[in-house]
Each structure stands twice: as structure tokens, then as C-alpha cells.
Amino acid sequence: MERAVPHAVPLGQMEVFQALQRLHMTIFSQSVSPCGKFLAAGNNYGQIAIFSLSAALSSEAKEESKKPMVTFQAHDGPVYSMVSTDRHLLSAGDGEVKAWLWAEILKKGCKELWRRQPPYRTSLEVPEINALLLVPKENSLILAGGDCQLHSMDLETGTFMRALRGHTDYIHCLALRERSPEVLSGGEDGAVRLWDLRTAKEVQTIEVYKHEECSRPHNGRWIGCLATDSDWMVCGGGPALTLWHLRSSTPTTVFPMRAPQKHVTFYQDLILSAGQGRCVNQWQLSGELKAQVPGSSPGLLSLSLNQQPAAPECKVLTAAGNSCRVDVFTNLGYRAFSLSF
Amino acid sequence: MSSESSKKRKPKVIRSDGAPSEGKRNRSETEQEGKYYSEEAEVDLRDPSRDYELYKYTCQELQRLMAEIQDLKSRGGKDAAVEIEERRIRSCVHFMTLKKLNRLAHIRLKKGRDQTHEAKQKVDAYHLQLQNLLYEVMHLQKEITKCLEFKSKHEEIDLVSLEEFYKEAPPDISKAEVTMGDPHQQTLARLDWELEQRKRLAEKYRESLSNKEKILKEIEVKKEYLSSLQPRLNSIMQASLPVQEYLFMPFDQAHKQYETARHLPPPLYVLFVQATAYGQACDKTLSVAIEGSVDEAKALFKPPEDSQDDESDSDAEEEQTTKRRRPTLGVQLDDKRKEMLKRHPLSVMLDLKCKDDSVLHLTFYYLMNLNIMTVKAKVTTATELITPISAGDLLSPDSVLSCLYPGDHGKKTPNPANQYQFDKVGILTLRDYVLDLGHPYLWVQKLGGLHFPKEQPQHTVIADHSLSASHMETTMKLLKTRVQSRLALHKQFASLEHGIVPVTSDCQYLFPAKVVSRLVKWVTIAHEDYMELHFTKDIVETGLAGDTNLYYMALVERGTAKLQAAVVLNPGYSSIPPIFQLCLNWKGEKTNNNDDNIRAMESEVNVCYKELCGPRPSHQLLTNQLQRLCVLLDVYLETESHDDSVEGPKEFPQEKMCLRLFRGPSRMKPFKYNHPQGFFSHR
């Protein structure tokens, strides 16, 4: 079938290089600003771009509104995870966590407020930080990643209070169980571990790959994504996406998704997941696939729901992954448009 | 009548001395004159009113007498005859009186008339005099006005101003005492001075003229001398030719070239001058020559008029002629096309010599009617090149200079005005003729000093030296790098086709010592085939796969794994890197769509190419990229996690030293090679 070929623009060396960079860009992490109007996205080159959601969603949006307001080089390595407090943007990648003031960034003054490195055991290679988790009750930040430990850092003083050891391979994802408070972590070793923050001990371990319903040995045993709703937990990755009842540690529903999922979250009465494959999948709790909405990237790595109360008009779902684009879904049924680096 | 006769008679009676025998008139006249005098006098004396009374009385008497005669006659009687006679005599006397009175009346009348006449004549005379005088007055007035308006010629002369006059004029002319008071004298003096000055100046003029004549004669003499010198100098030059050759200073040759250069059309001339200058000043490896027939160029001296207009006229003529003309119409259109695309008989040849003794021959032509320049290129090497199959296009004259500057593909005419000319003769685009005519690259136009502003057809674009000079150095350097990189690629392709990736010793450090994956195939593919591949869609969509690029397919194998790599080679290699897109066939088909690691491998080769450039002038880029690809495949296959459910050992045991096998949310493999420690890590 004939395909319309785009007109080849005469490209100099700079343009070719930039085009190649954009082609090979991966956006690993997203974070919504406290006011809800801006979205930060971090990519594999260590850059963070700030998009103005309110401008892009407004009725006079032009092509430039879909480009970043400001882009700055945050880290030397990829920015694997980001999280926002009510004034700061915290980003982590190659072994360090840095903090930025949202107010400063929005004025295009991109200077880091502080940077901290958790105490690592090995010095040969700097381990990456794959997940950041805020614990509002303690005002602390939990980091987890390449050195197989969870580090807990006090946000006021910046000291690392404790390190939780237990994983045998690097940690992919974290989730917070509000009530207890407990932290769940999933890692490359295929286990989901629950930790009690007060006692700093491992409370429960679920080895997902050992359960036959969900294990998929040809994909591996790694747990790529976690989400919890206090009693319930959903996790996926190498094994199939499964909903677990935490107290009894039993898998209740296995979602029939072949591709490994990289991000999962609870939303209202649905479970949203995304991973390899273009689509954002919406699941009923019963295990039925409600909808599959295709995005623009060949694989998705992160989903972000903007539920900030201050900006109800910017209530959107954004998805990003193996491309330079962030898909914006205003309505979960279809992709509205894409922001692009 | 009776009065006249009575007049005649009366003078007879009264004058006694009148001349009787003259003509009646004369007599009457003289008599009348005599009478006139006396009767005249009588008239003056008598009173007209008394004469009137007398007349009345006489008439009365006559009437009475007649009546008495009547009476008497009627009565009859003897006395009557005497009485009648008496009365008849009395009436005769009365008749006489009447006659006299009549005469007097006539005379009076005549007198009156004469007087009137005289008076009238006088009046007429006065009148005439008056007229004459008036006429003279008018005449005099006219004369006066004429005199008053009279402008003397002397007022037309621009005299020097008074102050100057008094300053400059010698005192015997200016005569200040006299002239100050009397303006008439003053003007006279000034006129005098004017005359003096003019005489002096006329003198001077004559002198200068004679000087000029003298000098002209001298010039003539000298000219003759010089022209007699010319043949002597020529003979000296001839004699010195062998000496020049002996000393390797070919001035004569250069001189001949300059002679021929005079017949070049302006853009070629600009190119020739600038290139020669550049060659002499900066770059000894550049040599410039002019080829072609000078006589033909001279024959073209008449500038080509709008041959298109002539053609359109003849076109119209032909259309009106009969059918039997039609078969030749196509031929005539062809001729018109040929005419439009005609080249100037002279061309400029530039030879660029590169370090390895290969030479780039550039021949520049000028298309006269289109006002553009084209170039034909040829690369010759010191040693005979065996062309590997895949390297066919690298050095082909058609494409070796393509896209020297980004986007300059040389298939379209750079002069927007040409489109209108093409429409007239049915040429769609210049692309069909470039093989024959040469490529009209933009840099060629710039070297010839021709600047065509985009989309605005200008009628006269003239060749500009500064434009050419500013582009000369960059273009020459680009040409050299282009030739050298193409030759390097040529050599590399020969090696690649045999399955060997030629890595030079100074680039060995980029790769580990042992590389197991091998390159088994290296072929060119067509542009359309590249577009049809399923794993190249991203590149096509970004617009990086134009038709000016060269496309290749490489196949790397290890064991059962086959990695296909589609390569886009931009003509601007090696400043613009080749772009690789991969497709791995091993346990299923993996491309950048479904495998993050393949994407990472592509990134390693495409984005991180700067590490692979090697020493300048980075001709090793492509081969280093290919070698890296082999290394990446090795790492990929060896670090693949073993599937516990499947029986048997791993196909590829891990031999590479890696710190960690997986890292990050995408679980990337360690593709980065660290030298000199020799282990693999993640970026």
C-alpha cells in the first residue's frame, strides 16, 4: 500500500543529530506540579522538561503550547523517577536525588536546591534510583533502586534514617500502604516485600513467580510495577498482572495481558495499566478488560493522573514511554493530543 | 433751352467786341466769361427779393397784356392790330425782363452752388489735413514707444559687477571721476573694460590651442615609438620561451590562459579568476585550466537575444501551415530545447589534488540561455580502483557531489526564471538532462558569483566576485573532504563485502579484543526498498530518508541469531552520521517497537556516534559503527536471561565481563564498553 512520504527537509549536522536524539528518547518519569497546571517529564538523557498543561488544554492551544515551557539538564544519567511535594520537585536517576523549587523552575531558573546521595555499599558502579516514595506522615522520602535497599531520608534534615535490606536484586517500584503505614517494594528478584516503617523490618514477602497462575517464566520473574489500595495490591512485570489480597497473600484475579506491564495504578473503580505495547489498558476489578486506548509510543513506562484539587480543568491522564512524546488523555476513552520534547 | 439760347443771344446784344467766328462753345464760354463777369457783378448788386417782386409784377403785366390782346383779338377791329402790336411789343419787353430775371436767378443759383462747393472743398481740405496730422501723430507715438523700448545689445552682456569693475579696471578705462556721476559714461566704461578683457582672453585661448597642438604632435611621435617597440618585445618573448621552460616558470602559459579567459562568459570568468587566486594564495593543489574552442566563443559575440520570442513567433507560423508540416514539429521542438540548453563552448576545469594522489576533476559549464552554471565531476585515483559492487554509487559522477551542502541535490535549476523558459519548450525539469549537461548545484552558482534570490525571478543576475570569493575556500575544503571520505568508504566497502570489518589500529581501543559476531553480508538497497522495510518506519517518518541518500543492508550473524541492519548513508558523511535501524531474528523477531534493548542498541550506534568517529577526518565512523554493532549483538545474546522452563544450556555462554546484567525500569543490558578495564556497564 502506498504510504505518504513526508518531504525530506535538507538537514545539516545539528538537525540530524537532534532528530536522532529525539527518535531515541525515552521518558521514564512524570510528575504533576502542586498547583496542578504543569507537568514535569524526565528522560533518558537526564533532561527534565516542564509542560504547561493549562496552556495545552486551553481552547487557544497552538503547536507551541505542546512544547515544553522550559527544558534543563537535571542529571548526568537518566531521570528514572520523580515525585512532587507541595513546593518541591524531587528527581532521582543515577544514584542521586535532587530537589528543585517549583516556583523557581516555572520562572525558568533551573538551579537545584539540594542533592543527596544515600550511603551506598559498593563503590564500583553507582547504583540507580528507580523509585521515589513520599511518606507524608513522617515527612520522609523513600528511595529504592540499584543497590537492593530501601533508604529513608528525612526531608527536613536530609539525613538518611534507615536502610531496609532484604531484596536480592535491584528494586523496581515502591508503593505506600497508608493505613499501617507500610511500604511495598517490588524487585528484579521477583518478590514483593512489605516493610513496616516504624520497626524497619520486613513484614511480609510475596514471591509472585512461585504462583502458577501468574508466573510466566519466558518473561522472567521481575516485578516491574506495584499499586496498592490498602487491602489489595496489583503487581505485574515478568509475571502476569495480578490482583492480590494482601492479608492472605493470595492472587485473586489474573488479568489476561500478555505484554509485561511497567506501570499500574488504581483509579476510581478501575485499574489502569501500561507497559509493552501502545495501549493504556483499563481493567475492571473482576478481571475484564474494559478498554484499550492506544497511545503514540510503542511502549509505555509511566502513567500519571493529575488529581490536584487546585486545577480541576487539568484533570488528565498522561502517559509516556519509549518516545519523546507524552500522551494526554482528557477522557479515558481516547488520546486527545501529545506533548512532545 | 430757351434760357440758353437767350444767354447766347444776350451776349451778342450787349457785347460788341466779342469774337464771332469761334466755335459756339468757345464763344459762348468766352462770352459767357465776359458776361459772367458783368452779370456777376450785377447779381451782387441787385436784391433778390426785389427781383422776385419784379418777376411777379412782370408776370402779372404779361398776363394782363395777354388778356388785353385776347380781348382785342376776340373783338376784332382795325385798331386792334396796332394795339395788339403795341401790346405785343410790351409783352416782348416783359419777356425780356423775364429772361433776364431767369438768367439772374440762374446765375445766383450757380453762384450759390459755387460758394457751397468752395466751402465744401475747404472743409474737405481741412479734414484731410486733420487726418494727415492724426496719422502722423500716431506714427510718431509709435516711434516714441519703439524708442522707449529699445534695448541696446550692450545690456545682454553680463558685465562684471560695479565693485569688481572699479577694482580691476585700470584707471584710464574706469575713469572713476567721470563715470561715478554719469551712468551713461559708466556703462560705456564698463563696456570698454569688457572688451579689453575679452581681447585678452581670446589671446590666451589662441595660445592654449597652439600648445595643445604641439603636445598632440609629441604624443603621436611617442606612440609611434612604442608601437615600433611591440614587435621587438614579441621577439624577445619568443626567445625567452626555452629559458622559461628550463626554469619552470610558465609565464607564457599563464598569459595564454588569461587571453582565453577574456572570452569566457562572466560567471565562468569570475570562477576562473577566483579559483586561480585561491589556488595561488592558499592551496597549491588546485589547478585551473580553460578548455574549449575560443573561435566558437568569438563567433558567439553577438549576445543571445530572446531566442524564445523568435521561437514563439515561428511556432505560431508553423501552426498556421498545413498538415504536412506536423511530423517535423516534434523535431523542431527538440531543436528548440537543444537551443535553450546550449552550453558556452568554453569551460573551466578545476583539478583538486588530494593527499593520497587522487584527483577530483571538475568541469564547469555555462548554459547561456538559462544563465546557470553546471559541473561535471570525475574522480581519478593514483592506482586503479576495483569497484566493489556496493560501492557503485559512491564515486559515480552523478552522485559524488550530491548534497555537498545540505539539501543541494543539483537536480533542479536554481534560477527561478528558467521555469518560464522551460514551459515554452516543454521541458518539465532539468533533471532529465543533468547527465548530459552536468549538475546545477547551488554552490556552483555561488562560485560563479551568481546569486538567485529564492522564488523571485530576476531579469538580470550578474556575476559577482565577492560572492564567489566568500564561498571558495569552504567549498574547496568540502570538496576535498568529500572525495577523501568517498575514497575511504570505497576501500572499506571492498573489505566489508568480504565480511571483514576493517577497524584501524587507532580505533581498536573502542572494542573488546574478542568479537564473535560476524558481518556476513553488505549490499546496497534501493531507496524504495528501504522505505518498504517494516522496521525503518520511524526514520522515514522523521524525514531523514530522502532520495539523495544511499541505502545499504548489513547482516550480522552469530549462531542462530541474525541481525539485519538497514543503513542510511547521508551524502554528507562523515559529518552527518550513518543511521542504523535493526531487526533481530532470534527467538522471534525483535525490533525497536517490541524490544527496548534493540532500541538501546540503535541508540548506541546512532546517538553516541561521536565516540566512534575516530581520529579526524573521521573516515572510520561507518566501520566503527559496524564493529560496535557486532559487539552489541554479542552482549545482547550473552546477557539474555536464561529461561528456566526450557531445557538445555544457554546458546551463548556469557563471556563478557559485566557488572550488572539489568538496570533501570526498562531492564537495559550493559551495552557500554569501558576501556581499558574491558568490562561492560550501563550508560
Chain A partners within 8 Å of B576 (Cβ): 11-13, 16
Residue B307: the pLDDT is 46
Residue B144: the pLDDT is 94
- How far apart CA B220 and CA B313 sit, in angstroms, is 53
Q: Extract the C-alpha cell encoding B518.
A: 560476524
The distance of A339 to chain B (nearest Cα, Å) reads 17
CB contact under 8 A, A16 and B570: yes
Find all residues with CB under 8 Å of B243, minimum gap 6, and list them: none
Where would I find the beta strands (DSSP E) of B425-576? 518-525, 550-558, 561-569
- How far apart CA B455 and CA B411 sit, in angstroms, is 17
- How far apart CA A65 and CA A53 sit, in angstroms, is 8
Q: What percent of chain B has pLDDT over 70?
A: 86
Window from A75-84, B17-26, B637-646 with minimum mean pLDDT: B17-26
- How far apart CA B241 and CA B218 sit, in angstroms, is 35
Q: Extract the C-alpha cell encoding A175.
A: 508503593
Q: What is the DSSP string of A232-272?
A: EEEEEESSPPEEEETTTTEEEEE----SPEEEEEEETTEEE
Task: Give which of B31, B61, B55 is closest to B104, Cα–Cα.
Answer: B55
CB-nearest to A10 from B406, B577, B645 is B406
Task: Among B403, B547, B666, B677, pick the best mutation site for testing chain A contact (most A Cβ within 10 A).
Answer: B666
User: B517 and B630 in contact (C-beta within 8 Å)?
Assistant: yes
The distance of A46 to chain B (nearest Cα, Å) reads 11
pLDDT at B324 over 60: no
Assess A7–B contact: CB distance below 8 Å, yes or no: yes
pLDDT in tens, B516-568: 888 888 888 888 888 888 888 888 888 888 888 888 999 999 888 899 999 98
Residue B588: the pLDDT is 84
- How far apart CA A260 and CA A275 sit, in angstroms, is 6
For residue B644, name the pLDDT band (cuts at 50, 70, 90).
low
Q: Residue range B419-433: average pLDDT?
A: 79
For residue B262, name the pLDDT band (cuts at 50, 70, 90).
confident
Q: What is chain A's mean pLDDT, rounded?
A: 87
Q: What is the DSSP string of B607-668?
A: TTGGGGG-STT-TTHHHHHHHHHHHHHHHHHHTPPP-TTS-S--SS---S-BS-S-BTTTTB
Window from A44-53, B169-178, B527-536, B571-580 with minimum mean pLDDT: B169-178
pLDDT at A243 over 70: yes
Collapsed DSSP state (helix, strand, coil) of residue B427:
coil
Chain B partners within 8 Å of A188 (Cβ): 662, 667
- How far apart CA B117 and CA A43 sit, in angstroms, is 144
Rounded to 10°, the helix B465-497/B621-638 angle is 40
Higher per-residue confidence, B361 vs B9: B361
Task: Among B409, B581, B667, B683, pick the best mutation site for testing chain A contact (most A Cβ within 10 A).
Answer: B667
Element (H, E) at A231: none
Residue of A nearest to B404 (CA): A12
Assess B681–A contact: CB distance below 8 Å, yes or no: yes
Chain centre to alpha carbon of residue B265: 20
Is residue A227 in some structural domain? yes
CB contact under 8 A, B599 and A26: yes
For residue B647, name the pLDDT band (cuts at 50, 70, 90).
low
Assess B588–A contact: CB distance below 8 Å, yes or no: no
pLDDT in tens, A139-181: 889 999 888 889 999 888 888 888 888 888 889 999 998 877 8
The distance of A73 to chain B (nearest Cα, Å) reads 16
CB contact under 8 A, B593 and A220: no
Number of Cβ within a 10 Å radius of residue B237: 13
Q: How many CB pairs under 8 A join A and B?
A: 109
pLDDT at B631 over 50: yes
Collapsed DSSP state (helix, strand, coil) of residue A73:
strand
Residue B315: the pLDDT is 47
User: Per 3-state DSSP, what percentage of chain A is helix, strand, and coil (rounded to 5)?
Assistant: 10, 50, 45
Residue of A nearest to B683 (CA): A77
- How far apart CA B540 and CA A5 sit, in angstroms, is 7
Chain B partners within 8 Å of A26 (Cβ): 596, 599, 666
The distance of B679 to chain A (nearest Cα, Å) reads 12
List the CATH number of the domain containing A241.
2.130.10.10
Q: Which among A238-242, B141-145, B502-506, B602-606 has the top mean pLDDT? A: B141-145
Residue B574: the pLDDT is 73
Q: Residue range B385-396: average pLDDT?
A: 74
Assess A4–B contact: CB distance below 8 Å, yes or no: no
pLDDT in tens, A183-234: 999 998 889 999 988 888 888 898 888 888 888 888 888 898 999 887 889 9
* Residue A339 burial (C-beta neighbours within 10 Å; 0-12, 13-18, 19+): buried
pLDDT in tens, A88-125: 999 998 888 999 999 888 888 788 888 888 888 776 77
Number of Cβ within a 10 Å radius of residue B284: 9
Q: Residue range B223-237: average pLDDT?
A: 88
Task: Among B580, B596, B647, B677, pick the best mutation site for testing chain A contact (most A Cβ within 10 A).
Answer: B596
Assess A265–B contact: CB distance below 8 Å, yes or no: no
- How far apart CA B678 and CA B675 sit, in angstroms, is 5
pLDDT at A48 over 80: yes
CB contact under 8 A, A9 and B543: yes
CB contact under 8 A, B665 and A80: yes
pLDDT at B16 over 80: no
- State which residues form the domain around A241: 119-254
Q: Which among B94-103, B148-157, B323-332 has the top mean pLDDT? A: B94-103
Chain A, 89 to 128: residues with Cβ < 8 Å from chain B are: 124-125, 128
Residue B643: the pLDDT is 64
Q: Extract the C-alpha cell encoding B609.
A: 556516534
Backbone angles phi, psi at A48, to 5 degrees: -120, 130
Residue B208: the pLDDT is 96
The residues spanned by each domain of chain B are 39-148, 179-247, 259-300+332-484, 499-641+650-681
Residue of B nearest to A29 (CA): B665
User: A303 and A317 in contact (C-beta within 8 Å)?
Assistant: yes
Residue A92: the pLDDT is 92
pLDDT at B8 over 60: no
CB-nearest to A146 from B546, B548, B663 is B663
CB contact under 8 A, B666 and A6: no
Q: How many helices (H) and strands (E) does chain A have?
A: 3, 28
CB-nearest to B645 from A13, A124, A217 is A217
pLDDT at B383 over 90: no
Residue B30: the pLDDT is 53
Find all residues with CB under 8 Å of B163, minimum gap 6, and list them: none
Q: What's the pTM?
A: 0.69
pLDDT at B427 over 80: no
pLDDT at B613 over 60: yes
Residue B134: the pLDDT is 97
The distance of A112 to chain B (nearest Cα, Å) reads 23
Residues in chain B: 683
Assess B603–A contact: CB distance below 8 Å, yes or no: yes
The distance of A126 to chain B (nearest Cα, Å) reads 10
Tally of structural domains, chain A: 1
pLDDT at B117 over 90: yes
Q: Residue range B76-83: average pLDDT?
A: 75
Largest CA distance in chain B: 223
CB-nearest to B599 from A19, A20, A322 is A322
Residue B23: the pLDDT is 47
Q: What percent of chain B has pLDDT over 90?
A: 12
Residue B136: the pLDDT is 96
Chain A partners within 8 Å of B670 (Cβ): none
Q: How many helices (H) and strands (E) does chain B have?
A: 21, 11
Chain B, 526 to 555: residues with Cβ < 8 Å from chain A are: 531, 538-548
Task: Among B405, B542, B646, B680, pick the best mutation site for testing chain A contact (most A Cβ within 10 A).
Answer: B542
Number of Cβ within a 10 Å radius of residue B108: 17
Residue B145: the pLDDT is 93
ipTM of the complex: 0.89
Task: Among B528, B544, B574, B593, pick the best mutation site for testing chain A contact (most A Cβ within 10 A).
Answer: B544
Residue B455: the pLDDT is 59
Q: Is the peptide bond before A181 cis (omega within 30 degrees of 0)?
A: yes
Q: Extract the C-alpha cell encoding B507.
A: 580505533
pLDDT at B416 over 60: yes
Backbone angles phi, psi at B598, to 5 degrees: -65, -40
The distance of A188 to chain B (nearest Cα, Å) reads 9
User: B57 and B64 in contact (C-beta within 8 Å)?
Assistant: no
